[in-house]
Structure 1
Amino acid sequence: MQRMGSIIGIQPDKIETYKRLHAAVWPDVLRMIEKCNIRNYSIFLKEPENLMFAYFEYHGTDWAADQAMMAADPKTQEWWAVCMPCQKPLDSRKDGEWWAMMEEVFHND
């Protein structure tokens, strides 16, 4: 299992929309997340900075393949088309990232 964290901005005028969407995530999207070996997934919001932090645990063995499977899923693509306009990616993210991945510097069980 690998713990993963990522961060992204959110458009201030889209916060309520984003919260509403995530209060009722589409079941097909949740199933795809699970199928791609992602567990214990949470998203946190920090206002007034309008930053979102995501934490999840990856239980698979091929992150690239699982991410490709998720990206190819039509229902996930529809979900992203609704959610992505709410988000504001960080300028410092790496090429190919939407949410900027973070380095884990401390963990205590």
Structure 2
Amino acid sequence: MHRVCFTLQVKRDRMEEYAERHAAVWPDMLQALHDTGWHNYSLFLRDDGLLVGYLETPDLAAAQAGMAATEVNARWQAEMGELFEELDLPPDQGFLRLTEVFHLEDQLAAHTTTTPVTDQ
């Protein structure tokens, strides 16, 4: 399972609307996300409009392609696209993916295979 973190910039004057829309995502959109491999998906919105997203998926490209093939995603992206700053692509394609530099469980697993972890 791959962990994916990304950012987008929500327009400051549209932040409340963005949050309201995500408080009640369409049931068919929720199901499509789940069915196409978007798991443990969360969005976080900072007070300046910075949106940080996190998801886990077996294959991000496949998850994106799966959503692109759904009618509900086309409707959702069309409605949400206007809420973002300087975005030339639909939000689900135009996000900036961040590079993971640390994951506790991965390092613990690597460390415990060589040296037992003890409390100091």
TM-score bin, normalised by smaller chain: 0.7 to 0.9
Matches within 5 A, 1:1-109: 1-48=1-48, 50-58=49-57, 60=58, 62-89=59-86, 97-109=93-105
Cα drift, residue 64 of structure 1: 2.4
Decide whether the 8 Å contact of 2:7 with 2:53 is kept in 1. yes
What is the aligned residue count? 101
Question: Cα offset for 1:33?
Answer: 0.7
TM-score, with normalisation over the residues of structure 2?
A: 0.77
CA distance in structure 2 between the partners assigned to 1:6 and 1:66 by the alignment: 15
Question: Which of 1 and 2 has higher RCO (CA within 8 Å, sep 6+)?
Answer: 1
Q: Distance in 2 between matches of 1:90 and 1:84?
A: 8
Identity between Structure 1 and Structure 2 (%): 37
CA RMSD of aligned residues (A): 1.8
Q: 1:47 & 1:13 partners in 2: Cα distance? A: 11
**Distance in 1 of aligned mates of 2:47 and 2:7:** 13
2:83 alignment partner AA:
C
5+ residue gaps, structure 2, are 106-120
TM-score (norm 1): 0.84
Deviations 1:58-87 (A, max 9, x none): 1x3x43233112112111110111111111
Give me the whole-angstrom Cα distance separating, in 1, the residues matched to 2:3 and 2:26.
24
More strand by share: 1
